[in-house]
Amino acid sequence: MNILILNAGSSSVKFGLFDAEARETLASGLIDWTADPQRAPLVIQRPGAEEVRSSVEVTDHRTALVHVVQSLTGTAGGESGQDDVITGVGHRVVHGGAVFRDSVGIDDGVKAAIARFSELAPLHNPPALEGIEAAQSLLPGVPHVAVFDTAFYAHLPPSAYLYPVPYEWYTDWGIRRFGFHGISHAYCAGRAAELIGHDLRELRLVSCHLGNGCSATAVRGGKAVATTMGFTPMEGLMMGSRSGSIDPGILFYIQQHRGITAEQLDDLLNHRSGLLGVSGVSSDFRRVEAAARSGDERARLALEMYAGRVRAAVGALAVTMGGVDGLIFTAGVGEHSASLRATVCEGLDCLGLRLDGQRNAVCQPDADIATPDSPGRIVVIHTREELMIARETRRVVCNLMNVDEQIR
């Protein structure tokens, strides 16, 4: 029996199929009906085999998952024999608030809570909930598990999760830092310990998840102690189309003097800022890099700002821990842009982080790109969020099965 992992977007689903021990990837892929629901591309990759592509008709998450399940197992959801193939389904959920401090089996109460937190993660929680509903209708005979990005930050101390605003904002309204990309940061911290060759419990790590969304987290002894993202996934580092942290006074000014509504402001900060807003080219880092190489000054400026904010965050998080033993680069930009890594690492010698330019230029994840004499290591890691979700799903399913056995 195997574990199915689902990461649902508004018009897409990333998926993975793992063995029952959550050690081996049996298949992974993506179905995306954003551009053409009539001919949505379905891509499946199995280890040691060529990528398989097909076009299918998709009207919603349920029909998308019908194609996914059929392609992976040879049976449609709910058909006889399907329960012999899939033993559990894990769902990535971005925002679990302060309620979910761990992964949980999904019931109606869990779904209601995920829906409540949708206003804090409007780009992520609603499609996750749609994916859960669709998967439960197709695979009703197996347990479904929610794995939360915010759970990795459940043990942040109050000094790290509270904001310097009236305390009643926290007690009455629940305003606090939650943190995101926790699944990625948790996996990469463990993998970094393996690469560095030290017990995770002894390490101080700064993990930089750099993609369309960006965050950096300080991990000490395997636990998150500080992070750049906050109440929502908008705070912190400059991102693809999100601004990251800015002076709150700017928001008051443009609302009062430029007639910008709250709805317009939300759109501007979430969808028209970051790399896209500064460069005027794209939210895609690769396109901005290409434009900068062609002499586009705004694109060059956007890259300089992006790297500068990452570098500043690395310094701040390292000081929070009293030093740093390892710096992690992960996610799409962190894993693939050697120039970005080089720019971020400029000036980090003061923290004992010395980049080897040659190693950096040719590295493929997972790799150590620090100089041999660097006191702190610099590692590039391919994040495997699906594997982490599979491990969590297996753990929760095993616990649920043990409870069931005790009841019987």
Give the tokens for residue 60.
């919603």
Collapsing DSSP to helix, strand or coil, 147 comes out as strand
Give the tokens for residue 62.
């349920």
**Backbone φ, ψ for residue 66 (5° rounding):** -60, -45
Q: Which H or E element spans position 268?
A: helix 262-271
Q: Long-range contact list for 331-334, CB < 8 A, 24+ apart?
A: 331/181, 331/184, 331/209, 331/210, 331/211, 331/214, 331/383, 332/210, 332/211, 332/212, 332/285, 333/210, 333/211, 333/214, 333/285, 334/208, 334/209, 334/210, 334/211, 334/380
Query: How many C-beta neighbours within 10 Å does residue 112 have?
Result: 10
Catalytic residue of the set 149, 247, 296, 368? 149
Residues 6+ apart with CB under 8 A from 86: 1, 2, 3, 4, 69, 73, 139, 142
149 classed as catalytic: yes
Residues with a catalytic annotation lie at 149
